[in-house]
A and B are shown apart, each in its own frame.
Chain A
Amino acid sequence: MTLSAVARTAPAPAGSRRARRRSARRIPPSVLLSVLVLIVVVAWSVAPGLFTSQDPVNGIPADLFRPPSAAHWFGTDQIGRDVFSRVVHGTASSVTSALVAVAIGLVVGGLIGLLSGFLGGIVDATLARFVDVLLAIPSFLMAVVVVSALGFETINAAIATGVSAVAVFARVMRSEVLKTRSAVFVEAALVLGGSRWHVLLRHVLPNASRSVLQLAVLQFGLSILTIASLAFLGYGDPPPASDWGLLVSIGKDYPLAPWLVWAPAFVTILTVLSLNRISRWLRKTA
């Protein structure tokens, strides 16, 4: 997605610098809330045992399909497992795989964009065609093909999602590099005898990093959605894994226990919404 991401990296209208600086100092409550959500999610994925003592894999046969209650916050599933525990234990896989996807997109796409924008000429033309090709293949189809080539595992779904995000990172990085390259201070650095590497590392990269960071946060949320979709289709780790998308996919077969769908869905939406909010805020204050 990313169209909006590309649109967002366009220069903000000048003249509101002071206003922007002011808004940067005062963090809006919704952003604080989003950060809080992410802290909880990260904590779940690092130490799920701290948040729930119930077994995510083995159920209690006496407790089938219990609706949400004080004992089972998100209810229990078809074999008596605590759904809250399953969601918490599924976080690590759902979130780290999205992180892997973003890392792949960021490193590969960023490198392509950097070389393309900084070197220009034939390198730029060649890489631009390559990026065009990546863009031409609908990214979800690309992810499906890659994951079916690598095998149905969550880590492969993450790689597939990362591959499908390369083009977007390359585009944004390239346009940022081009923007900075033509800036007066970069020309000055070159005139003063700065080497190309020096200019690249000291001036071009730091200036591009803000837009790319904002894109990375946005892609993090999108990757969670893509990986959840792949898991939903059964292209991730099989049960008893409890990736959020997989939980929804299994839960949908039990319409009389709607919490099986809503609990993991709610957590997914809240996480992605928080990431989008932070990305938006980064864009505004950039």
Chain B
Amino acid sequence: MADRVGNRGYVTYALRRAAQAVVVILLAYVLTFVVISVLPGDPVTTTLRNPQSGFTEEQIARIVSYYGLDQPVLVQLWHSLSRFLTGDLGVSLRTNLPVSHLVAEVVPSTLVLAASALAIAVVLAFTIAFGVQYLPRPFGPALRAFPSLFLSVPTFLIGLLLIQLFSFQLGLFRVIDSDSGLATFFAALTLGIFVSAQIAEVLIANLDQEARQEYAGVARSRGLGQVQLLLRHLLKPSALPVVTVLALMVGEVLGGSVITEAIFGRAGVGSLVQRSVSTQDLPVLQAVVTLAAVVFVVVNLVADLVYPLLDPRVRLLAGQRRSTARPEPGVPEPGVAAR
């Protein structure tokens, strides 16, 4: 479909977006560094000299010179950034292990959790949105309240409730056995509910709008049933924006993993963050936040690049993305994100 979009425009657009993404990632690193070095006091040497961390004076001196802690902040930033560019994430202050090693250890678990959470969120959102449209009177409209309710319940509470109900009462899974399939499912459900509400809101609004369009009225007048109408006409234009929303939700899931993993006792990126915060392990914190930004930016870049290929109404003019279709309330601007 790329040639319909116009190859040259698309390539220009893709290159521009990729360049922007690189800039954003680098600046995210700098911003994180700045925020972290605002830290009052000298937590680095406090952590290092803590007898529990078991560093010898020699090792401390090596780490201090490695991070350039005796130098001005700008010089430190420069060293840190150039190391980051060569893929060196530094050394953990708590364990004296390379940060990349620590992170790589926990990434798979969080990836599984995040991917399942997004999948559950999509299924839930579509179920709610279809229910709103097609369930008979008292039930359908009542479902409209669900996204709003889901957005009002703290994630930690959902987690506690699920554990209470399915682990303590029904004994379906054990929290200690946190990597079992069911435990992962409930953790993902905890994380996915908030996300599903956001997707459902967009989906419901889009379906409402599409159902009011003239073409839908014409199809109906020609005798097309509700289900046929949905599957053949309404679904595609309503569901496409979900791609963009889903990409934005990656940030939500990565942030939410801190809470979910704490509640379900999972070893993942989120619990690594929590441990690093309590032990002031700044290099780990810096690395995890930057990696989260990288994941977010890359996923959104891919979503933005794929979108024009999926939706021919979005044409690319002079390397910019512009929609030739009517403005759609449910389609956020590319790159607009969400908390």
Contact = CB atoms under 8 A, between A and B. Distances in A.
A249 B255 CA distance: 19
Interface residues of B, number: 64
A151 interface: yes
Interface stretch (B84-92, B105-113, B216-224, B328-336): B328-336
Contacts of A2: 337-339
B157 A265 contact: yes
Contacts of A142: 35, 255, 289
A138 B259 contact: no
Interface string A69-109: 00000000000000000000000000000000000000000
Interface stretch (A5-13, A57-65, A116-124, A189-197): A5-13
A45 interface: no
Given A7-B205, A133-B24, A252-B160, A269 B153 contact: yes
A141 B154 contact: no
A157 interface: no
Interface stretch (B44-52, B66-74, B290-298): B290-298
A137 B335 contact: no
Contacts, number: 182
A180 interface: no
Contact of B288 (A4, A141, A248): A141
Contact of A138 (B38, B149, B296): B296
Contacts of A272: 151-153
A221 B27 CA distance: 30
B190 interface: no
Contacts of B339: 1-2, 139-140, 164-165, 168, 222
B24 to A, nearest CB: 5
B126 interface: no
B201 A144 contact: no
B338 A6 contact: yes
A12 to B, nearest CB: 8
Interface stretch (B55-63, B180-188, B244-252): B244-252
A203 B197 CA distance: 35
Contacts of A232: 154, 156, 259
Most B CB contacts (10 A, CB to CB) among A135, A142, A146, A228 go to: A135
A229 interface: yes
A168 B338 contact: yes
Contacts of B255: 138-142
B196 interface: no
A151 B280 CA distance: 11
Contacts of B337: 2-3, 135-136, 167-168
Contact of A145 (B40, B157, B289, B296): B289
Contacts of A280: 148
A7 B209 CA distance: 13
A24 interface: no
A178 B23 CA distance: 25
A252 B264 CA distance: 13
B156 A248 contact: yes
Nearest to B259: A229
Interface of B is mostly: helix
A3 B248 contact: yes
B198 A1 contact: yes
A255 B258 CA distance: 23
A136 B25 contact: yes
A150 B144 CA distance: 40
B20 interface: yes
A2 B328 CA distance: 17
A148 B280 contact: yes
Most A CB contacts (10 A, CB to CB) among B24, B198, B288 go to: B24
A229 B209 CA distance: 35
B258 A228 contact: no
Given A233-B262, A248-B157, A4 B201 contact: yes
A265 B155 CA distance: 11
A138 B157 contact: no
A233 B285 contact: no
A116 to B, nearest CB: 13
B202 A137 contact: no
A1 B148 contact: no
Given A137-B289, A139-B251, A233-B274, A149 B202 contact: no
A129 B19 CA distance: 12
Interface of B: 20, 23-25, 27-28, 31-32, 35-36, 38-40, 148-149, 151-157, 160, 164, 168, 198, 201-202, 205, 209, 245, 248-249, 251-252, 254-256, 258-259, 262, 273-274, 277, 280, 285, 288-289, 292-293, 296-297, 327-333, 335-339
18 contacts: A3-B202, A6-B333, A6-B338, A10-B328, A129-B23, A133-B31, A137-B293, A139-B339, A142-B255, A145-B289, A167-B337, A222-B151, A225-B155, A229-B259, A232-B156, A232-B259, A276-B148, A277-B148
Given A3-B336, A135-B251, A269-B153, 16 more contacts: A6-B332, A7-B201, A7-B202, A10-B327, A136-B296, A137-B289, A140-B259, A140-B339, A141-B288, A142-B289, A145-B289, A168-B337, A225-B155, A265-B154, A272-B151, A276-B148
Interface of A: 1-8, 10-11, 13, 129-130, 132-142, 144-146, 148-151, 164-165, 167-168, 171, 175, 221-222, 225, 228-229, 232-233, 235, 245, 248-249, 252, 255, 258, 261, 265, 268-269, 272-273, 276-277, 280
Q: 10 nearest interchain CB pairs?
A: A140-B255, A3-B338, A138-B255, A10-B329, A138-B251, A272-B152, A135-B337, A273-B152, A139-B339, A148-B277
